[in-house]
């Protein structure tokens, strides 16, 4: 019978062990004094440290794209809740020297190596390079599909050899059925698929309509690199359709202060998937952002899941776990902070989100 008395004791010991391994419920990490002076990124759009200032430049409804021109102007592409595609030009000294706004669906605007393409209007802009805001009509080739296979293949080979900026769309035609005449059978043409290859030769844009298999000429990885416009991240060559934050010594994660544990219940992932419960640490991530000889000390509130290590945040060489900005689905994951500058710029760009952009100068 003694064994029945031992079972509750064993369960209690296991529970205490779990609490200790997670951090005792109801307690939180004391904050070392060295972190008292860190500035909360959640509380202000501008943080000043001596002569240095970090300001929130913009927030976007979709992920922000960035392109560096040969003149060292950074072109920033974003989308506002008012359905405005916005482009701003930042000069090497950190000043916004020009803007371009287009009212259109975001999926109709393509930001390609600095060129801005309006697919719906069949127009493009060279504004990133020459400041001209007047759109230019795209020259269509083989729009009536009257080229034979040999002509199309020759043109595709020319594009491969001569153009450094290419984008591919796919479309199809569904002809209207012909009316039945007399007692004859009604006939229809089959659906025809084709590709639209948008390409640039210097600063002029063309679109080739072709029924040839363009995958022989432009691989998916090649087209992905063509569309890539991000100064903070690069394409992960080891993992298809993945990206990675470019590491920099200008960012140093110093400490994560764990507050009281929270038991959070999440809904299932859709369908009949059951819900699940996670134990998360609310807390603050303390980070130092270095620009030239100055340091901005930041803290940000977020949630830490120690069971998964999906973030790129490391403190003292150790990955601390999975970080998120909220504790409800859809989860707003935080992979890492992002930072960019180069020797020709008198400022730095920083962000804690793909939809925000800060400037440091």
Question: pLDDT tens digits for 82-122?
Answer: 789 999 999 999 999 999 999 998 899 999 999 999 999 99
Cis peptide before 330 (omega within 30 of 0): yes
Strands (E), 202-319: 204-210, 233-235, 243-245, 251-258, 262-266, 276-291, 294-305, 314-315, 318-319
pTM above 0.75, yes or no: yes
Beta strands in 26-178 (DSSP E): 39-40, 46-49, 52-59, 65-68, 74-79, 84-90, 96-103, 109-112, 115-118, 123-125, 136-137, 139-141, 165-173
Specify the pLDDT at position 14.
46
| d(C-alpha 62, C-alpha 58), whole Å | 12
**Run of H or E residues at 107:** none
Spans of the chain below 70 pLDDT:
1-27, 174-191, 239-241, 268-273
Distance, CA of 193 to CA of 218 (rounded, Å): 17
- Give residue 337's pLDDT: 98
- β 84-90/74-79 pair status: antiparallel
Residues 6+ apart with CB under 8 A from 66: 74, 75, 76, 77, 229, 230, 231, 232, 340, 349, 357
């Amino acid at each position: 019978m003694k064994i029945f008395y031992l079972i509750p004791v064993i369960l209690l010991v296991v529970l205490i062990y779990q609490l200790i391994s997670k951090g005792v419920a109801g307690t939180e990490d004391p904050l070392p004094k060295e972190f008292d002076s860190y500035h909360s990124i959640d509380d202000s759009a501008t943080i000043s440290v001596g002569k240095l200032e970090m300001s929130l430049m913009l927030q976007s409804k979709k992920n922000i794209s960035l392109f560096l021109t040969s003149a060292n102007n950074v072109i920033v592409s974003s989308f506002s809740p008012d359905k405005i595609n916005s482009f701003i030009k930042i000069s090497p000294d950190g000043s916004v020297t020009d803007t371009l706004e287009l009212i259109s669906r975001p999926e109709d605007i393509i930001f390609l190596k600095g060129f801005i393409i309006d697919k719906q209007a069949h127009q493009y802009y060279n504004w990133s390079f020459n400041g001209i805001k007047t759109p230019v009509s795209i020259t269509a080739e083989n729009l009536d599909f009257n080229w034979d296979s040999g002509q199309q293949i020759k043109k595709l080979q020319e594009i491969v050899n001569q153009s450094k900026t290419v984008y591919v769309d796919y479309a199809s035609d569904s002809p209207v059925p012909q009316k039945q005449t007399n007692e004859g059978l009604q006939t229809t043409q089959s659906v025809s698929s084709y590709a639209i290859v948008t390409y640039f030769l210097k600063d002029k844009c063309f679109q080739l309509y072709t029924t040839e298999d363009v995958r022989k000429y432009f691989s998916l990885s090649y087209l992905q690199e063509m569309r890539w416009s991000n100064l903070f991240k690069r394409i992960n060559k080891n993992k298809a359709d993945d990206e990675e934050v470019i590491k920099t010594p200008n960012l140093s994660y110093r400490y994560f202060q764990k507050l009281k544990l929270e038991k959070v219940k999440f809904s299932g992932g859709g369908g009949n998937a059951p819900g699940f419960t996670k134990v998360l640490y609310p807390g603050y991530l303390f980070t130092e952002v270095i620009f030239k000889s100055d340091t901005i000390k930041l803290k940000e509130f977020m949630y830490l899941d120690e069971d998964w290590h999906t973030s790129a945040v490391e403190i003292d060489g150790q990955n601390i776990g999975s970080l998120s900005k909220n504790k409800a689905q859809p989860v707003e994951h935080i992979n890492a902070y992002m930072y960019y500058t180069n020797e020709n710029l008198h400022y730095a760009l920083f962000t804690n989100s793909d939809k925000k952009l800060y400037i440091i100068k």
